[in-house]
Structure 1
């Protein structure tokens, strides 16, 4: 199973494709360089397979590469960051 995480600015979300199928997304509101993440959804066919984790990890890696920051209003993303403190430096207060 190959997966790819990419930003879809037109939809204001990062999407994960698994074998070319949309498997999930994490939606955001852009406030300059800060992305406020509001929800994460994974298609039921892909739940329990690590797709949500791969999505959030790929999203945060891309935000870090761009020099951006995040406000994890979404519970899934917030819990991921709590479990992976290497991403804590990306978190800022809501602008």
Structure 2
């Protein structure tokens, strides 16, 4: 099924759509230097199909392109970063310690 991830700036969240229907989102709050990901949710009908992974990956790529660091306050985003060390560089050193992430 065709998917798309878009930044819904008005709602401060990235949304993933499946066949044009919103299947999930990750909410954020921007600061001057970082984007704090605070909550991620996937509709139960789409659970277990990899949409959370696709959503978070696209959101982190967009965050990087926007020149922002990432603060994975949400467990889903934190787990994504923990299991993909190439994204760890996006988390500021001060936040890694507080979130229990490697330095």
Same fold by TM-score, threshold 0.5 exceeded?
yes
Structure 1 runs (4+) greater than 4 angstroms displaced: none
Deviation per CA, 1:25-47, whole angstroms, max 9, x where unpaired?
00011112411111100001100
Which structure is larger by alpha-carbon Rg, 1 or 2? 2
* Structure 1, gaps ≥5 residues long: none
* RMSD, aligned α-carbons: 1.1
> Which structure is higher in RCO with an 8 Å CA cutoff and minimum separation 6?
1
Structure with bigger helix share is 2
Taking structure 1 as the reference length, the TM-score comes to: 0.93
Taking structure 2 as the reference length, the TM-score comes to: 0.86
* Structure 2, gaps ≥5 residues long: 96-103
The number of residue pairs the alignment matches comes to: 94
